[in-house]
Structure 1
């Protein structure tokens, strides 16, 4: 399926359009399946989106939240993606506590915690081992180096294809991340990308010849919809 690419005038317009799309997809999922499962991203770009979603009137009891990746820090740490989402969104709405499915990062063993998250997904989605969950919405960002989730260039996590969760590696620091096949199994993958620092990576991800091992976001080709929402600073290479 061809990606849907929209280039918005500025970051405000980017957040507004991503809010419209998220609300639409949440409502569609609840209407069609009675539930909506979402995997969140971290980083600074989605914070205003999370704040905007918190102001919506949505069927919170039917929404289940996961994380596409997490830094290996305690949940109260300033770098925690869970903390970001709770502060900006989840603590502000009446979502049941059991609908929030944070990444475990507390055993001191990243591999063990990755396995625990895998088991949580298997239990929630009632999967057999090695089967990928189908999330309704995977919210993705992209770094200046072309990484997405915690799938960094030329790292071992890019090779994992037999499970949904792996340990990523950022300059020697472990992360816990959804794998490429798990992201690609989603009904809708939504990239949210802002800033001129992303231009080179965007150009490479959309080129025919770039190596996805070097620009991992290029690996994301889901079975469902693929949306790229970019502000004009990030999307400049696609307009030339």
Structure 2
């Protein structure tokens, strides 16, 4: 699998990063809708939902064309404080007219059986993608990811067996080193088949791990393993505080 080199865009402030990310999402949406009439996006938790709320002030967002999935989700009720869906609802969905039917959540009736939970979520992906795109793996228009201090992304953790998963679209985790332990996650084959993947990382706390991921990819941290196959492209949206130690070349942000 041939992967293009990551494009790293660094911004003086976190607010400038947020505005550029909004521009980027709108462009990805526009191109996807022009090409196939819909926009498929996978979201993460953390600070990302709050950053996406900047889209509420933008024109040109065709919310009815969005199909939203989660890069990973915790096996908790949808209104639980640990739920990525609850976080996205509070910080993002509540501020924009995104149709609830276009938001694909896990099935809360299956929380007691992680394998069933992951299978059911994979079936949602199959319904959205396999019948329309006829691909071995779904091809998201955009996957937005964060990165933990250990280099994990989604719920793909260093040293975990899921790093070598090659077949499943959605897998479960019952031993996450970060609570809560029970989760479902998109796998690397799905992430690396996306048309665009964008990491968002800001703040001094990300300096060391960002340097490792970008300057020493051979160390194999999960975030380093995100390398979409050509013609897919990987972007990093970072602020100068996070990128202070990175030697990897930065690229001026252009739409």
> What TM-score do the two structures reach when normalised by structure 2?
0.87
* Aligned match of 2:88: 85
1:126 is paired with a residue whose SS is: helix
* Aligned match of 1:228: 236
- Is residue 217–residue 224 contact of structure 2 (8 Å, CA) maintained in 1? no
2:27 paired residue among 5, 24, 28: 24
Q: Does 1:167 align with 2:175?
A: no
TM-superposed CA distance for 1:159, in Å, is 1.8
Residues 47 and 94 (structure 1), Cα distance of their counterparts in 2 relative to 1, 3 Å cut: closer
Q: Deviations over 1:28-63 (max 9, x none)?
A: 1112221100000101x2133221123333111111
TM-superposed CA distance for 1:7, in Å, is 1.0
- Is residue 215–residue 247 contact of structure 2 (8 Å, CA) maintained in 1? no
TM-superposed CA distance for 1:210, in Å, is 3.4
* Aligned match of 2:16: 13
Residues 106 and 89 (structure 1), Cα distance of their counterparts in 2 relative to 1, 3 Å cut: same
* Aligned match of 2:224: 218
TM-superposed CA distance for 1:67, in Å, is 0.4
- Give the Cα–Cα distance (whole angstroms) in 1 for the partners of residues 107 and 163 of structure 2: 21
- Give the Cα–Cα distance (whole angstroms) in 2 for the partners of residues 80 and 147 of structure 1: 18
- Give the Cα–Cα distance (whole angstroms) in 2 for the partners of residues 233 and 11 of structure 1: 9
Computed over aligned residues only, the root mean square deviation of the Cα atoms, in angstroms, reads 2.0
- Give the Cα–Cα distance (whole angstroms) in 2 for the partners of residues 4 and 129 of structure 1: 29
* Aligned match of 1:75: 78
TM-superposed CA distance for 1:20, in Å, is 1.1
Listed as ranges, the gaps of 5+ residues in structure 1 are: none
1:148 is paired with a residue whose SS is: coil
Higher relative contact order, structure no. (Cα contacts within 8 Å, ≥ 6 residues apart): 2
Q: Does 1:3 align with 2:6?
A: yes
Listed as ranges, the gaps of 5+ residues in structure 2 are: 249-255
2:215 is paired with a residue whose SS is: coil
Stretches (4+) displaced over 3 A: 127-130
- Is residue 130–residue 162 contact of structure 1 (8 Å, CA) maintained in 2? no
* Aligned match of 2:129: 125
- Give the Cα–Cα distance (whole angstroms) in 2 for the partners of residues 40 and 87 of structure 1: 14
Shifted more, 219-228 versus 127-136: the winner is 127-136
Q: Tell me how many residue pairs correspond in the alignment.
A: 237
